[in-house]
Chain A
Amino acid sequence: DAGVTQSPTHLIKTRGQHVTLRCSPISGHKSVSWYQQVLGQGPQFIFQYYEKEERGRGNFPDRFSARQFPNYSSELNVNALLLGDSALYLCASSLFPTGGSYEQYFGPGTRLTVT
């Protein structure tokens, strides 16, 4: 079975632009989470979606938004890009959203560079 897939793998944008990142979860997984990993730091939680509903939001500005589609794939949108948004964006999928019993499987990430 395919793992979590993310597209694109790399992206270069200019300050002020908008970006959309995409994630396809493992088949059968209904929950998707997004994390931001700035160089030299651990991943930071941005959003979690389950059955198309937002189930959790991290401490990120409203410029960050996301949605989940009926096929459980997800998009992360970032508006008005700042230099500080440059990071590896990771998507993780799990069967269900709660606690640690349901392992989160991570995709390879999208490397976003803002110039």
Chain B
Amino acid sequence: AQSVTQLDSQVPVFEEAPVELRCNYSSSVSVYLFWYVQYPNQGLQLLLKYLSGSTLVESINGFEAEFNKSQTSFHLRKPSVHISDTAEYFCAVTPVDGNKLVFGAGTILRVKS
């Protein structure tokens, strides 16, 4: 079985400041890792994913995440946040040969002006 822990339930940050949203996972088998974003009253949107290869993955809107196998982590970072980044962010894993996503409890990112 897999489990995902998002260490912060809420992260307040000022606009243009850097941010890190932490994610740790547990699994006895190899997994793929994902970050999803959920804006108010909307469904989930895939932000970025790690399947294989380079451990650093990037999104088109400036977020990046690094897969650290030894620490079983997949932290999400952005060097400079915007007001529009305010949303809830979910870390998720799925077994490489599995068919379901296991999500963390989510981290609410609040960007203040």
Q: A100-B94, A100-B96, A107-B43 are in contact. Are A40 and B105 (CB under 8 A)?
A: yes
Partner of B100, one of A40, A41, A45, A109: A45
- Give chain B's interface residue range (CB within 8 Å of chain A): 20 to 34
Per-residue contact bits, chain A 25-43, to B (CB 8 Å; 1 contact, 0 not): 0000000010100001111
Among A44, A97, A99, A106, point to the contact of B44 (Cβ < 8 A).
Answer: A106
Q: Is the CB of A45 within 8 A of B105?
A: no
List the A side residues contacting B102 at CB < 8 Å. Answer: 45
Encoded as 1 (CB less than 8 Å from any A CB) or 0, chain B from 80 to 111 comes to 00000000001010111111111111100000
| Contact call B51/A42, Cβ cutoff below 8 A | no
**Least CB distance, B6 to chain A, in whole angstroms:** 8
* A48 neighbours in B (Cβ, 8 Å): 99-100
Given contacts A99-B95, A99-B97, contact A42 B43 (CB under 8 A): no
Q: Measured between alpha carbons, how far is A33 from B4 in the docked complex, in Å?
A: 19
Q: 9 extra interchain contacts, Cβ-Cβ under 8 A, other than A45-B100, A90-B44, A109-B43?
A: A33-B99, A42-B104, A90-B43, A98-B98, A99-B98, A100-B34, A103-B46, A107-B43, A108-B42
- What would be 14 A-B contacts, judged by CB atoms less than 8 Å apart? A33-B101, A41-B105, A42-B106, A98-B98, A99-B95, A99-B96, A99-B98, A100-B34, A100-B49, A100-B51, A100-B94, A103-B49, A105-B46, A108-B43
The chain B residues found within 8 Å of chain A, CB to CB, are 4, 6, 32-34, 36, 41-46, 49, 51, 90, 92, 94-106
Residues in A lying within 8 Å of B, measured CB to CB: 4, 33, 35, 40-45, 48, 55-56, 58, 90, 92, 97-101, 103-109
